[in-house]
Chains A and B, each alone.
Chain A
Amino acid sequence: MAEKYRVTYVEDDGKAHTVEVAEGWSLMEGAVKHLIPGIDADCGGACACATCQVYVAPEWQAKLPPKSEMEDTMLDFAPDTKPTSRLSCQLRMSAALDGIVLHLPKSQH
């Protein structure tokens, strides 16, 4: 079994869910697996729909891999983006991200 690490997803209304996500899984998959409301992920992680946007808490920004050009442009056109926006399907769980906090937008559409 892959190692599991903690992720906290915070809904738009402030409700927080701390769950464990297996190493190598995307943070989108972690949300879907634990039925976190607010992540639609229509395309299932193919970076094709931009419906898995999250806002990454500032202290975690530096630990993330840089955005690919595809992710960057998909985000350009997603609703309610902020400088801290990422597509959670492009972020892989790892020991370095143990404890990461992600805030969810009000809507993905």
Chain B
Amino acid sequence: MPEKIVIIGAGQAGQQAVQSLRSEGFTGAITMVGDEAYPPYQRPPLSKAYLLGSFERPRLFLKPDSFYADSGCELILSTTARAIHRADRTVELEDGRKLPYDKLLLATGARVRKLNCSGADLSGIHYLKTIADVDGLQAVFQAGKRIAIVGGGYIGLEVAAVGAKRGLDVTVFEAMDRLMARAVSPQISAFYASEHEKAGVKLKLRTGVEGFEGNGKVEYIKAGGQTYEADIVLVGIGVIPCQELAERAGLGCTDGIVVDQNARTSDPHIWSAGDCTRHVGREGHEIRLECVQNAIDQAKHAALSMTGKPKTYSEVPWFWSDQYDLKLQIAGLARPTDTLVQRGDPASRKFAVFHLRDGVVAAVEAVNAAPEYLVGKKMIAEGKMVAPEMLADTSIPMKQLG
């Protein structure tokens, strides 16, 4: 009997796994189950070009439909998996169908964290994770409308940038004292705050949201003890790993499905990859990464392990964000105790912040600065030690430092 692999989740990680399983020589049957109506698509453009309207829907799809047919991968869409029966190695779908597997990959991703304050269920309050979410937002995303954005992270700020460009009246509410506080250094936060303000976006930092009011539809947002008018609300306050299926099946989960460095769960027949996982990162700490890089690389490692060629996952994480004409590129994971070295002048709208740990480059954040990002990423992978004063000296090309 040829082997059967079932993949739960039809996102970036699931798609990569299909591709890698075939390129690693797996010839058995593959079935991929997704709860959205669409085959795997790119999520990053959703809050950027797709919302702006400069990127049509067909361009979002990671592969043409023929890819799945050509790869011998059966796609079951608009369907949720209800249970994993580990003893008889079957996945039960919500419609009662049972899919037998020899190996199972959980690529269930993450879902948006929801607000539960008063009025949070009013219509006009949007979240952004799926094509359907953006299509819903786009219908009301019109010039002159007042949009209140809850959360000054990547999603909130990318939507703010698109909103400002489209002529909406944008206000961002952020509970912390700076933007993207979980993701970037204070220098980067300050730079982006000034760019958003220049574009006419109003920033309300240290301003937690208390609730919403309106007659059926949201009309007011209450935050920081004040009331603001709003026609639309967009909430971007992070995501939660989709681990319930794994949890119910008794797999180890701690804020994410726990996997080893081969993307394997506590069950030797079950792997997991992407936003839904928690793994020991290259620095020896347990981490949960929400990014394209992790979806791609962890899925590749899962496929290697599933085909009997396990390889330790230790890739440097990388991220990017597009706001206005600014490309923010980040590699590595920063820690609050890192020594920060700035290279270049933020006023030139082209600069980078390096994070040194014991003299070694641990992370880099680059704004419109591809050499800093690329050489920085290489330095992180190699554990390169570099003198801070050389790193800060823009008269020395990055190439020479790498």
Contact = CB atoms under 8 A, between A and B. Distances in A.
Interface of A: 25, 29, 32-35, 42-44, 46-50, 69-70, 73-74, 76-77
A76 to B, nearest CB: 7
B327 A70 contact: yes
Nearest to A2: B56
Given A42-B296, A44-B44, A46-B320, A74 B64 contact: no
Contacts of B368: 70
B63 A32 contact: yes
Contacts of A32: 62-63
Interface of B: 42, 44-45, 59, 62-64, 66-67, 70, 292-293, 296, 318, 320, 322, 327, 329, 368, 370-371, 374-375, 378, 399
Given A33-B64, A46-B320, A74 B370 contact: yes
Contacts of B292: 42-44
Nearest to B60: A44
Contact of B64 (A34, A47, A50, A70): A34
Question: Interface SS of chain B: helix, strand, loop or mixed?
Answer: helix
Nearest to B54: A24
Contacts of B62: 32, 44
Contacts of A35: 63-64, 66-67, 70
Given A35-B66, A35-B67, A76 B320 contact: no
B374 A73 contact: yes
Question: Interface SS of chain A: helix, strand, loop or mixed?
Answer: loop
A73 B293 contact: no
A43 B378 CA distance: 18
A76 B279 CA distance: 33
Given A33-B64, A42-B292, A44-B44, A70 B370 contact: yes
A25 B58 CA distance: 11
A49 B59 CA distance: 18
B63 A48 contact: no
Contacts of A48: 318, 320, 327, 329
A39 B292 CA distance: 17
Contacts of A46: 44, 320, 322, 327
Given A33-B64, A34-B64, A42-B293, A73 B329 contact: no
B320 A73 contact: no
A44 B320 CA distance: 12
Given A44-B45, A46-B320, 20 more contacts: A25-B59, A35-B67, A42-B292, A42-B296, A43-B44, A44-B42, A44-B44, A44-B62, A46-B44, A46-B322, A46-B327, A48-B318, A69-B370, A70-B327, A73-B371, A74-B370, A76-B399, A77-B370, A77-B371, A77-B374
